[in-house]
Amino acid sequence: MHYLDNSATTPVLREAAERAFSVMTADFGNPSSQHKMGIAAAHILEESRKAVANALHAAPGEILFTSCGTESTNMALFGAARRKRKGHILTTAIEHAATLSCCKRLGQEGFDITYLQPDEAGHISAGRFAAALRDDTILASIMLINNETGARLPVDECGRALKRRCPEALFHIDAVQGFFRVPLTPSKWSCDLMSISGHKIGAPKGIGALYLKKGLHLSPLLHGGGQENGLRSGTEALPNIAAFGTACEIRASSFARDVQHVETLKQALLAGLQARLPWALINGAGDVPHVISLSLPGCKSEVVLRILEGDEIYVSAGSACSKGKESHVLRAMKLDKARIDSAIRVSFSPFNAIEDVEALLTGLEKAAAMLKRR
Ligand code: PLP
């Protein structure tokens, strides 16, 4: 099996799964219980929070556990916007559906939303971001790494521009695709809120976190027993949380080596394409090694996906959430239809090997030969 769809999700690391199992079956107390088992569970919760905080160079008190990246973003955007009754929100046209859907809803509630358009490489410049700020901007939300093209947005400069022009406005970064792909330093990026997700880094599905800058208070989406500092009521998903902490520790211990390895895989793929399918087109700037979008014009993505799948090679035709719909990201980049219809996203993890790249190249050659012959 050659799994090259790691931006959609990743397999759970064995150590993380074992940790979850032991928390489910042995350390299964409720962190709010007052007896010894509850205290042990609360200790696991806080140790896991520390591990996630370390990954963001943040303080443990700045980490709030959620169920996924989507929930983190909902909490950030609705929580930030609803501190005000009206105002301007700045985001981009290439965000993940989680951000776009929240912004659409906030637009219906009366907030004024600006969607910045990318250039042909999928970039949005800090200059264009700064120029779109207004006196009434209350919130800006942009992604760090685009999930379809691997374009990196200049969050650092955007954050500075926002705070200079609108000091009261909040800055949210969707860092789901940057987590353990590039170093994350929210405190250096004028960032108030940052979304991350466990299942993209070898933790189970069903766990995410929101970085919430110290001192910032949002109104909660869930009301109840007051867990997570009153911000997210409901008994904590301790097995998933503990697995998330373990995955963070493991990924942190090999981070530099992993980035290097993934860069080697990307270079091998690009060189292989150049040699074996020189007419393949790369979509976007591809600023990071772990996501590559390529098109084989004339070869429809869905059909290529099925051919590759026949040889147990798994990639995606865009974001996993788009379920075969035309990519809003590639459309916003104004790529032509043949290129959009044939786009394939390859996304690496550090656990991929050069054999996976070789299998993919052979699979793409086979698919191209079959489809071009028709
Ligand atoms: N943001 C980006 C950029 C993503 O790629 C994803 C998932 O693919 C999400 C948010 C949503 O994360 P989750 O699947 O944990 O809800």
Distance (Å) from CA 69 to ligand 1 centroid = 5
Is residue 151 lining ligand 1, measured as CB closer than 6 Å? no
Q: Is the CB of 99 under 6 A from ligand 1?
A: no
> Given this model, what pLDDT does residue 324 score?
62
Task: State the distance from the centre of ligand 1 to the C-alpha of 323, rounded, in angstroms.
Answer: 14
**Mean pLDDT value across residues 198-213:** 98
Residue 167: is its pLDDT beyond 80?
yes
Q: Which of 7, 73, 177, 179 to mutate to test the pocket of ligand 1 (most atoms within 8 A of CB)?
A: 177
* Residue 3 located in a structural domain: no
Q: Are 184 and 201 in contact (CB under 8 A)?
A: no
Q: How far is the CA of 231 from the centre of ligand 1 (A)?
A: 21
Q: Ligand 1, closest atom to CA 197?
A: 15
Give the number of the atom of ligand 1 that is nearest the alpha carbon of residue 8: 8
Query: Domain containing 315 — which CATH number?
Result: 3.90.1150.10
What's the CA-to-centroid distance between 200 and ligand 1, angstroms? 8
Q: Does residue 149 sit in the same domain as residue 293? A: no
Which among 52, 96, 327 is the best mutation to test ligand 1's pocket, defined by most ligand atoms within 8 Å of the CB?
96
Q: Report the pLDDT averaged over residues 227-256.
A: 97
Q: Give yes or no for residue 321 having a pLDDT over 70.
A: no
Q: How far is the first Cα of the chain from the last one, in angstroms, to the nearest whole number?
A: 28
**pLDDT the model gives residue 351:** 96
Please indicate, yes or no, if residue 263 is contained in any of the structural domains: yes
Q: How far is the CA of 367 from the centre of ligand 1 (A)?
A: 29
100 and 62: one domain? Answer: yes
The pLDDT > 70 percentage for the chain reads: 98
Prediction pTM value: 0.96
Q: Both 228 and 358 in a single domain?
A: no
Ligand 1 centre distance from Cα of residue 277 (Å): 31
Question: Could you tell me the distance, in angstroms and rounded to a whole number, from the CA of residue 5 to the centre of ligand 1?
Answer: 13
What confidence score (pLDDT) does residue 66 get? 98
Six token digits for residue 148: 């379809």
Residues with Cβ within 8 Å of residue 371, at least 6 apart in sequence: 296, 298, 299, 300, 303, 304, 307
Give the per-residue SS3 of the chain.
Answer: CEECECCCCCCCCHHHHHHHHHHHHCCCCCCCCCCHHHHHHHHHHHHHHHHHHHHCCCCHHHEEEECCHHHHHHHHHHHHHCCCCCCEEEEECCCCHHHHHHHHHHHHCCCEEEEECCCCCCCCCHHHHHHHCCCCEEEEEEECECCCCCCECCHHHHHHHHHHHCCCCEEEEECCCCECCECCCHHHCCCCEEEEEHHHCCCCCCCEEEEECCCCCCCCCECCCCCHHHCECCCCCHHHHHHHHHHHHHHHHCHHHHHHHHHHHHHHHHHHHHHHCCCCEEECCCCCCCEEEEECCCCCHHHHHHHHHHCCEECECCCHHHCCCCCHHHHHCCCCHHHHHCEEEEECCCCCCHHHHHHHHHHHHHHHHHHHHC
Tokens in use for 213?
Answer: 């800058």
The candidate with the shortest Cα–Cα distance to 252, out of 56, 20, 10, 17, is: 56
Last residue of a domain, one of 232, 253, 274: 253
Q: Is 143 in the pocket of ligand 1 (CB under 6 A)?
A: yes
Best residue for ligand 1 mutational test, from 200, 293, 322, 327 (most atoms within 8 Å of Cβ)? 200
Ligand 1 in reach of 177 Cβ (< 6 A) = yes
Taking 80 as the threshold, does the pLDDT of residue 215 lie above it?
yes
pLDDT at residue 325 is higher than 90: no
Per-residue pLDDT at 232 exceeds 90:
yes
In a domain, 1, yes or no: no
User: Are β-strands 291-295 and 281-283 bridged in parallel, bridged antiparallel, or unpaired?
Assistant: antiparallel
pLDDT tens-digit map of 9-68: 999 999 999 999 999 999 999 999 999 999 999 999 999 999 999 999 999 999 999 999
Please check whether residues 249 and 260 belong to one and the same domain.
no
Mean pLDDT of 162-191: 98
On average, the pLDDT of the chain sits at: 96
Examine the domain organization and report whether 291 and 229 are in the same domain: no
Residue 70, ligand 1, Cβ within 6 A = yes
Report whether 150 contacts 288 (CB < 8 A). yes
Q: How many domains does the chain have?
A: 2
Q: Which residues are catalytic?
A: 321
Range of the domain at 295: 255-372
Of all protein residues, whose CA lies closest to atom 9 belonging to ligand 1? 69
pLDDT confidence tier of residue 286, bands split at 50, 70 and 90: confident
Residue 5 lies in a domain: no
For ligand 1, atom 12: residue with the closest CA: 69
pLDDT of residue 57: 97
Reply yes or no on whether the pLDDT at 373 is more than 80.
no
pLDDT tens readout for residues 75-110: 999 999 999 989 999 999 999 999 999 999 999 999
- CB count in 10 Å sphere of residue 321: 12
Q: Is 330 in the pocket of ligand 1 (CB under 6 A)?
A: no
The pLDDT score that the predictor gives to residue 374 is 54
- What integer is the mean pLDDT of 4-10? 98
- Listed residues 200, 219, 253: the one ending a domain: 253
Distance 206 CA to ligand 1 centre (A): 12
Ligand 1 atom with minimal separation from the 68 CA: 15
Same domain, 297 and 348: yes
- Report, as an integer, the average pLDDT of 323-338: 89
Of 230, 253, 276, which marks where a domain is finished?
A: 253
Ligand 1 pocket, residue 147 CB under 6 Å: yes
Q: Is there a single domain that holds both residue 134 and residue 154?
A: yes
- Residue 139 CB–ligand 1 contact under 6 Å: no
